[in-house]
Structure 1
Amino acid sequence: MRTAVGAQGPRGIAERLSSAVRGWVLLIDADGGLRAAVPESSRTYLARILTELPRTGVPRAPLAAAISLPGESVSITSVSVAGRVRGYIAVGRTSNLSAAEHTLVETATYLIAEDLRRADEIRQAARNNRHAVLRLLLGGNARVARTTGEILRVKVPDGPVRAAVLTTSRENATELLEAVEEDQALRRIDTVSAALRPGRVAMILPTAEGDLRTIESILRRVPNCRGAASDPVSVDDLPDAWRRVRAVLQAASDEPGHLYLASDVSEAGLLRHLGGDDVRAWAQSALLPVANLTSGSKVDFTSTLRTFLANNGQADASASALGIHRHTLRYRMTKIGEALGRDLDDPTVRAELWLALKLE
């Protein structure tokens, strides 16, 4: 069975496992998509098996279950990599599996997990390469970026390009990055993209028909996502375009699903005059207690504060925007208020914090 990993990948493993247990095998991804069915006729069992799996969007715990279908005994096992459930193996036949056959299923699960882990390593290496080239381009080192891109196999666009930045909450950071990486339209035009930090993805893309619509479609697919894009510029002018894009995003509202264009914003308002290092240091210091709360928790308290302020302190509207109960929101805001040592009902305090968030 191990030889199937290098030869045919997960499908090869499924075929070997099916032959060894004299049954059928389904490989299912974490979102319920069918990756392989051996034999092909076994795909008819998919709909019933999906009813036993956690629904999309719900945290997934490791799963090992046995169910009965008409005339079939089915074993379902999750495939995990680095503690994250990445998919499932379903094995079925007319009789129960023996202890030795369960061991074969465990071996197949391990091999598929190893295949996914190696794929993750390759993907991360490609991400690191794109990040290096992107930083060089945004820093004004176009010539070095092209040379580096040739070495790292990262294509640097020719002709006019746009700089764009997309941002979302930490909870949706992975979804945003993968949406950009896997978008077929962006891949066709040699887009250079990378995550600058969790929840913030920058990209440089050649100007092409429909390029802005492509970005907007990503904003609509990823929850709480918004972005900004520059006018077409030469690669050498990317540093100025990048500064402009960042200023536009900082000055714009937090309306999700909206793409702001540099050409549509002639002035960035008060924030244009507050770009000094001292002001940014004040903003970071003012928000540090909230950042410390976030670093020690699975909750993004900074995003909670931003949403609360964007909704003028209205609990119901803020809770709805975050997808949580209003009592949960009140608990989070109490924690934030205690960490800051400030009264969040005070309009002046809210204004200061809103300004700090924009300048951070």
Structure 2
Amino acid sequence: MALTLRTLCASRTLGLRLVCPSADQDRALTWVHSSELSDPTPYLDGDELLLTTGLGPAPDPAGYVARLVAHGLAGLGFGCGLGHDDLLPALREACERAGLALLEVPERTPFLALTKAVAEARAADRYAEVVRTDEAQRALTSAALGEDDPDTGTARVLDRLTERLDAWALISEADGRVRRSAPAGAAGRAVLLRSEIDRVREHPGPSSVTVAAGDGQVVLQPVRLIGPAVLVVGRDRRFTPVDRQLIGSAVSVLTLAHARSAAAGRAERRVRTAVLRALATLPGRGAEDVLAETWGPLPAGDLVAVALGGRATGAPPDVLLDALERDPGVAFHAELDGQVAAVVGAGSVPAVLDVAGRVRGVRAGVSTPAPVGDLGRALREAGRALDAAERRDRTVLRFADLAGSGLAALVRPEDAGAFADAVLAPLVRHDAERRGDLVASLREWLAQHGQWDPAASRLGVHRHTLRARITRAAALLGRDLDSPGVRAELWFALHVADTA
């Protein structure tokens, strides 16, 4: 409890008398200081009780009081019986006009006694703050660690924090959603604080932001849950250093509580990955039963795989997995080969894309429908669609649209280029060293479906010359050009080389 002028005057030991009853007696005091300067304000911070024997104010009482009031002094104590037997009438009048508290200090009370009284009161306040802080930290720790479910623990921590601070609080997650709030209506404040929340979340190191809100304040601090989240606490008056310490304690216990459950969460996610891999590679071998007993059965009918991630996203898989786990519209999901895969019915694809859209930078690839026995194909399609979405800078790409764009759309440009260079290297080298036309001849021959006369006519050479070139090309390539598969590979390589 802060020390006030009223508290000092109530002490019989000090024997102080308040001369200006209209002044604010409940103003908190930070310290007591004595000075006989005519202008002591350069050596004061404000909110102090200044003690004088009258030497300072005597020459100009009105100007003296005006300077004290302008500097924010809490009051003036006048020591009687030293320089002056009684209060200076002009000083009393100046204090009454300015509303500055004026205390009469009897001769029997040394100024040192007031200094000791204020020091002891401040020490008692600090000790009480330490006790209250310790109790509050214990309450927060008990709330966080007393529950096996981290979400329940988070809610309890926010409840305890808001009770202690008489404030509201919320946690904004990496995807921008409010994970918990206390009271529940405080969740709506996240929209108004969006820019500040993003600034704290995206800061590379630990940071804390304080925002003025009318007469109150809002404090934002990063907290590590599944991903980078932000704890936001606000109220209609300013936070004290002790309040801020308690907010920091809440951040610590929330982080520890979620770290405790992280090991179990990682173990479950490894099991999810194993089950999904078994579904894809060993259909009908019991993985469906394990999934149904543990997480519930897959939707009836054909399934759709949705791959989430992408090289450009800064969101770790844990953030995506956590977001999917908390959405009832997603049937089953797991991390697989560096991506997050969700397996749902066709009607639930929008729900998955909606969750992914709330995590910044995430891209999605969507497969064509497939029965559960062909889930491996669906997962491969989704993965290829995701890779293509990354290359094309698309947020969502469906494999059906990708397949309609041709074979080149299914292969990474760098992989296709490397393949074309390797396949055509003998012909390119031959043409460069001997000024030949094997690459052009092969391209035209394949374009004419292996028909000699049309190809030779287009090239402007005799068909026997073309035969010799194609025979030479086959020898250099070491491939049978009568094979449809070889012709398809060569045509693809030539197409890639033409578009490079």
Q: TM-score, normalised by structure 1?
A: 0.56
Q: Which residue of 2 aligns with 1:142?
A: 284
Q: Which residue of 2 aligns with 1:132?
A: 274
CA 148–64 in structure 1, closer or farther in 2 if over 3 Å, else same: same
Distance in 2, Cα, partners of 1:253 & 1:270: 15
Q: Which residue of 1 aligns with 2:340?
A: 201
CA 59–102 in structure 1, closer or farther in 2 if over 3 Å, else same: closer
Q: CA deviation at 1:171?
A: 3.5
Q: Secondary structure at 1:174's aligned position in 2? A: coil
CA 269–80 in structure 1, closer or farther in 2 if over 3 Å, else same: closer
**1:323-359, Cα deviation, whole Å (9 max, x unpaired):** xxxxxxxxxxxxxxxxxxxxxxxxx9x957x99xxxx
Work out whether residues 26 and 35 of structure 1, in 8 Å CA contact, stay in contact via their aligned partners in 2. no
Distance in 1, Cα, partners of 2:390 & 2:209: 47
Work out whether residues 28 and 35 of structure 1, in 8 Å CA contact, stay in contact via their aligned partners in 2. yes
Distance in 2, Cα, partners of 1:42 & 1:251: 41
Q: Which residue of 1 aligns with 2:251?
A: 109
CA 147–223 in structure 1, closer or farther in 2 if over 3 Å, else same: same
CA 28–150 in structure 1, closer or farther in 2 if over 3 Å, else same: closer
Q: CA deviation at 1:127?
A: 2.2
Counterpart check, 1:29 vs 2:172: yes
Match of 2:370 among 216, 229, 232: 232
Letter of the 1:193 counterpart:
H
Equivalent residues in 2 for 1:160-199, closer than 5 Å: 160-166=301-307, 168-172=309-313, 174=315, 182=323, 187-188=328-329, 190=331, 192-198=332-338
Q: CA deviation at 1:176?
A: 7.6
**1:235-294, Cα deviation, whole Å (9 max, x unpaired):** 3333455556667777899442221229x848963799x9xxxx99x77xx9xxxxxxxx
Distance in 2, Cα, partners of 1:158 & 1:270: 34
Q: Which residue of 2 aligns with 1:72?
A: 216
Match of 2:298 among 147, 150, 157: 157
CA 268–138 in structure 1, closer or farther in 2 if over 3 Å, else same: farther
Work out whether residues 324 and 333 of structure 2, in 8 Å CA contact, stay in contact via their aligned partners in 1. no
Distance in 1, Cα, partners of 2:188 & 2:354: 33
Distance in 1, Cα, partners of 2:173 & 2:378: 39
Q: CA deviation at 1:113?
A: 1.6
Q: CA deviation at 1:102?
A: 3.7
Work out whether residues 27 and 88 of structure 1, in 8 Å CA contact, stay in contact via their aligned partners in 2. yes
Match of 2:198 among 36, 45, 54: 54
**1:100-130, Cα deviation, whole Å (9 max, x unpaired):** x443322222112223334544443332222
Q: Which residue of 1 aligns with 2:4?
A: none
Q: Which residue of 1 aligns with 2:399?
A: 260
CA 157–110 in structure 1, closer or farther in 2 if over 3 Å, else same: same
Work out whether residues 306 and 341 of structure 2, in 8 Å CA contact, stay in contact via their aligned partners in 1. yes
Larger radius of gyration: 2
C-alpha RMSD over aligned residues: 4.8
Distance in 2, Cα, partners of 1:62 & 1:13: 21
Distance in 1, Cα, partners of 2:383 & 2:189: 50
Q: Secondary structure at 2:374's aligned position in 1? A: helix
Q: CA deviation at 1:223?
A: 4.4
Q: CA deviation at 1:180?
A: 7.1
Distance in 1, Cα, partners of 2:330 & 2:407: 34
CA 102–171 in structure 1, closer or farther in 2 if over 3 Å, else same: same
Distance in 1, Cα, partners of 2:340 & 2:270: 13
Distance in 1, Cα, partners of 2:373 & 2:251: 49
CA 51–251 in structure 1, closer or farther in 2 if over 3 Å, else same: closer
Q: Which residue of 2 aligns with 1:97?
A: 240
Distance in 2, Cα, partners of 1:44 & 1:158: 34
Work out whether residues 186 and 205 of structure 1, in 8 Å CA contact, stay in contact via their aligned partners in 2. no
Work out whether residues 172 and 190 of structure 2, in 8 Å CA contact, stay in contact via their aligned partners in 1. no
Distance in 2, Cα, partners of 1:150 & 1:87: 35
Q: CA deviation at 1:138?
A: 0.7
**1:183-212, Cα deviation, whole Å (9 max, x unpaired):** 59984463x3222233x3334334x5x245
Work out whether residues 158 and 169 of structure 2, in 8 Å CA contact, stay in contact via their aligned partners in 1. yes
CA 120–91 in structure 1, closer or farther in 2 if over 3 Å, else same: farther
Q: Secondary structure at 2:240's aligned position in 1? A: coil
Q: CA deviation at 1:79?
A: 1.8
Percent identity, aligned pairs only, is 18
- Tell which has more relative contact order, 1 or 2 (C-alpha 8 A, sep 6+): 1
**1:113-157, Cα deviation, whole Å (9 max, x unpaired):** 223334544443332222111100111243231354367x13452
Q: Secondary structure at 1:88's aligned position in 2? A: strand
**1:33-63, Cα deviation, whole Å (9 max, x unpaired):** 5555555676786666555433498445422
Q: Secondary structure at 1:126's aligned position in 2? A: helix
Letter of the 1:140 counterpart:
L
Distance in 2, Cα, partners of 1:140 & 1:73: 58
**1:221-244, Cα deviation, whole Å (9 max, x unpaired):** 6747342413332x3333455556
